[in-house]
Structure 1
Amino acid sequence: MQSIPMTVRGEQLLRDELNHLKSVVRPQIVADIADAREHGDLKENAEYHAAREQQGFCEGRIQEIEAKLSTSQVIDVTKIENNGKVIFGTTVTICNVDTDEELKYRIVGDDEADIKSNLISVNSPIARGLIGKELDDTANIQTPNGAVEFEIIEVEYL
């Protein structure tokens, strides 16, 4: 089984979601099913079927999170010496060589990725193009509009 890279924050977010599902959502669904059962005939009881469907989604998500956590490899870049190399978990500031536009991204696991928060998946084309590079290196990143050259101007281990 392949391990899933995850930041400390990513692991905590998954653990929080798992706890919420088990302690809040699951008991609520059980109560909803019990209420719906009291309404009589289960064949034509929409509330019962909706609650059972919710239960299936909830249990599926619990299993998914537990599987991810059991195979996760938590990487805390704050405990790694910053040698200027772009690795999983680092925050990278890059500059578009053609436009001088600066962009800042943190390379995270798939579950944590959120482009609006500048969190990019380790499996994204940008991250794949940056990982292994070092401060002041240039990286050619394939974008929908063709290859773009970026210079790495800062690498932070936050």
Structure 2
Amino acid sequence: MTKTDNHGAWLTQEAYDRLKKELDHISGPYRQEIVERIDQARSEGDLKENGGYHAAREEQSKNEGRIAHLKALLDNAQVGAAPADDGVVEPGMVVTAEIAGEEMTFLIGSREVAEDLAAGDDIEVFSEKSPMGAAISGHRVGDELSYTAPNGKDIPVRIVDAKPFQG
């Protein structure tokens, strides 16, 4: 399944499939398991002092939040192969940049996606919607620019390298 909404996070097909599998599990069998635990705890009587009931309700709330988050992520995701190896900064690229005089290497993409993609890789992730991510997106290797940090300071950036993520 390929989605092309330009406002969503970039996902490899593998990451999309993994997150979809998680969504199917937590919105199906796992959701039902929680409901059964709540029903079981409810049948034990006084709900005010029923720790099992309250724990199951809290777990249900967290699970419903995760379901909503994954649905929104997957409904708006851009799914496909890694971006072209053309030196242009975009989601799915591992970027090396000199930022305020210090060289850093990081993945451009949503944090949710990056946790899935970069599992096992020790790489920092910057959202393409963050101030720096937005400022460098579309720039090429060798470009020098600056962006305004949330604290109001102008931060100089030089793009050293940009390669597709090979997770």
Task: Calculate the TM-score normalised by the size of structure 1.
Answer: 0.76
* Cα distance between partner residues in 2 of 1:121 and 1:32: 38
> Does structure 2 conserve the Cα–Cα contact (< 8 Å) formed by 1:87 and 1:131?
yes
Pick from 119, 126, 134: which aligns with 1:128? Answer: 134
1:93 paired with 2:93, answer: no
6-15 or 141-150, which deviates more: 6-15
> Does structure 2 conserve the Cα–Cα contact (< 8 Å) formed by 1:77 and 1:89?
yes
2:106 is paired with a residue whose SS is strand
* Cα distance between partner residues in 1 of 2:163 and 2:134: 17
> Does structure 1 conserve the Cα–Cα contact (< 8 Å) formed by 2:145 and 2:157?
yes
* Cα distance between partner residues in 2 of 1:2 and 1:86: 15
* Cα distance between partner residues in 1 of 2:128 and 2:15: 13
> Does structure 2 conserve the Cα–Cα contact (< 8 Å) formed by 1:112 and 1:119?
no
Cα drift, residue 53 of structure 1: 4.0
* Cα distance between partner residues in 2 of 1:124 and 1:46: 41
- % identical aligned pairs: 30
> Does structure 2 conserve the Cα–Cα contact (< 8 Å) formed by 1:91 and 1:107?
yes
- Structure 1 residues without counterparts, runs of 5 or longer: none
Task: Calculate the TM-score normalised by the size of structure 2.
Answer: 0.72
> Does structure 2 conserve the Cα–Cα contact (< 8 Å) formed by 1:107 and 1:127?
yes
* Cα distance between partner residues in 2 of 1:34 and 1:77: 46
Give the aligned CA root-mean-square deviation in angstroms: 2.9
Amino acid at match of 1:34: D
1:1-158 → structure 2 map (5 Å cutoff): 3-8=7-12, 10-12=15-17, 14-22=19-27, 25-42=30-47, 45-78=50-83, 80=84, 82-96=85-99, 99=101, 101-112=102-113, 117-143=123-149, 144=151, 146-158=153-165
> Does structure 1 conserve the Cα–Cα contact (< 8 Å) formed by 2:105 and 2:123?
no
- Structure 2 residues without counterparts, runs of 5 or longer: 116-121
